[in-house]
Amino acid sequence: PEASVQLAISGMTCVACAQRIEKVLNRLPGVAANVNFATETASVRFPAGSLQTDDLIAAVRRAGYDASVQS
Ligand code: 9UX
């Protein structure tokens, strides 16, 4: 089943940072991500059967930023 999560992203200093993170997330199979630089958030839809929220966060961290689940 498809799940969705809203992430708070930190460490973005320009609009290209958001595009970078979006690419990194969208490279994961089945993921559809939208990163908003202004609000420092990411809306992510992902296949819950093969990925977990932690996988999304790990991908963001590997790219040099940080992410946490937005409550
Ligand atoms: Mo521009 Mo954002 O180099 O790191 S992509 S500041």
Straight-line distance from the first to the last Cα atom of the chain, in angstroms, rounded to the nearest whole number? 21
pLDDT for res 5: 98
pTM equals 0.94
Nearest atom in ligand 1 to the alpha carbon of residue 64 is 4
Q: How many CB atoms lie within 10 A of CB 2?
A: 11
- Topology of 2-69 in CATH? Alpha-Beta Plaits (3.30.70)
Distance 20 CA to ligand 1 centre (A): 9
Give, for all 71 residues of the chain, the pLDDT tens digit. Answer: 999 999 999 999 999 999 999 999 999 999 999 999 999 999 999 999 999 999 999 999 999 999 999 97
pLDDT for res 6: 98
Kindly state if the Cβ of 16 falls inside 6 Å of ligand 1.
yes
ipTM for this model: 0.81
